[in-house]
A and B are shown apart, each in its own frame.
Chain A
């Protein structure tokens, strides 16, 4: 019995060595378990993620026309009046392409709208909010990425430069894209000493939208300014006495009714008030978004009727595409930095 009791006192005891060894093991285990997440972060290279986001942003900007409202709607988000809360809420995604089938061809009015944001107090302004709109509608993702987007035209001395965002740190995701920019056309009408004192300019949107012509070379009154130059004014002091805008045969807009706010129709930079003396530099602009404002259908027939106090034409209607030049596409480089 004595022997047995002695043995039971020693057997099953934890030795100091075991306790020390077990303690070291447990401490290391806890130490490593706490560090594993940190170690994994180091294994994952951040630049891969930044590069991928930069690539995605580039694709959305250059190959996508953007989106607003219900799916399948047209892509002219730049015509939304962002000062209006409901219209601002419709904006889903920013993209600069002219349409879904023309990757790499971007539209000048989308560029202008995209690169002219408001930083503070953008509610009630017809501008994008920097940076919230860009993060939510272009870059996406839960991580609050910072960005710097710049676009430079390669057009000799006429090269324009647009940019947005802060200066990028040394380490950032990067992509460079080469694109073409579609520019709005302009119309020149030569006056003649004919028999009629009016010019009826017809804009048949259905014909202009003909699929026979690639969208990059089309006149697009819906999304671009229509700029009309009156040339060959031979009778000095000729006055424009009336300017009316018709949708088919329905009078839509006229002097006294023209809005002072864009988008509207301007003559020499201001709202038309009769009479207005014209010369060879007279410029009439129907601003981009004007048709959208009046809910004109995309395939409608519209007409500008100008009346003068002198004979100006032979009385034949003017079809706008016969007098319109579409300037060549210009090249541009876009750089996107994400960090």
Chain B
């Protein structure tokens, strides 16, 4: 058990080479710090914000169209559906003009680029079955799987609807809205 035996066991293994160790540690820390602090992390919530803005605006626009401008007169939404003759062509110029204006008008910075496609749903009186949707109108821009939202309004049609299938029906107006 002499002191020399211990000295023999000292060698290079498991030694920290100080300079390399310190520089490696600093490199790792700086890299980690830069990565975390510089990246903008897009959380799922953030995409929901744009969806929410789109949904709110679409809902507002449909609601405005579904509000009569004067007492005793039908709303513009009602008029557009009433005057759309069967078979529905899938293009209602009057509705498109109003809806585009409401959706896309910005106050200071030019117009927005929102597009839409509107379908009508109703139930058959006798069977109670939901009928296949009527393609009411779209603004002619194809939908290519953009992030879209759906907004709806109910409209109670009277007996003056030009489509006999829609007379006295309660109609669900469903608009698909997207930005492109």
Contacts and interface: CB of A to CB of B under 8 A. Distances in A.
Interface in B16-74: 16, 18, 21-22, 25, 29, 33, 36-37, 40-41, 43, 45-46, 49, 52-53, 56-57, 60-61, 63-64, 67-71
Given A28-B25, A38-B37, A180-B67, A152 B57 contact: no
Contacts of B1: 3
A208 interface: no
A175 B56 contact: yes
B70 A328 contact: yes
B145 interface: no
Contacts of A166: none
A43 B59 CA distance: 32
A24 B107 contact: no
Contact of B37 (A39, A103, A154): A39
Interface stretch (B98-106, B126-134, B163-171): B98-106
Interface in A179-233: 179-180, 213-214, 216-217
Nearest to A330: B69
A187 B171 CA distance: 38
A38 B34 CA distance: 12
Given A55-B56, A152-B105, A333-B107, A20 B18 contact: yes
Nearest to B54: A176
A152 B101 CA distance: 12
B28 to A, nearest CB: 9
Contact of A17 (B16, B40, B60): B16
Given A176-B53, A178-B61, A335 B106 contact: yes
A58 B59 CA distance: 14
B45 A326 contact: no
Nearest to B37: A42
B64 A51 contact: no
Contacts of A257: none
Given A55-B56, A177-B56, A216 B37 contact: no
A45 B43 contact: yes
Nearest to A23: B22
A179 B108 contact: no
Interface string A316-339: 000000000010110101010000
A33 interface: no
Contacts of A335: 106-108
Given A45-B43, A104-B67, A17 B108 contact: no
For the residues of B in contact with A, the DSSP-based class is: helix
B64 A104 contact: yes
A35 interface: yes
Contacts of A6: 3
Contacts of B33: 35, 39
Interface residues of B, number: 39
A235 interface: no
B11 interface: no
Contact of B36 (A39, A47, A104): A39
Contacts of A278: none
A258 to B, nearest CB: 33
A177 B102 CA distance: 9
B107 A326 contact: no
B15 interface: yes
Interface in B69-111: 69-71, 101-103, 105-108
A328 B70 CA distance: 5
A17 B72 CA distance: 90
A326 B29 contact: no
A109 interface: no
A51 B105 contact: no
Contacts of B15: 17
A55 B25 contact: no
List 10 A-B pairs, minimum CB-CB distance, nearest first: A217-B71, A328-B69, A178-B60, A152-B107, A51-B49, A328-B70, A150-B107, A329-B69, A178-B102, A333-B105
11 contacts: A24-B22, A51-B53, A175-B56, A176-B57, A176-B112, A177-B60, A178-B102, A179-B60, A180-B67, A329-B69, A335-B107
Interface of A: 3, 6, 17, 20-21, 24, 28, 31-32, 35, 38-39, 42-43, 45, 47-48, 51-52, 55, 58, 62, 103-105, 150-152, 154, 161, 163, 174-180, 213-214, 216-217, 326, 328-329, 331, 333, 335
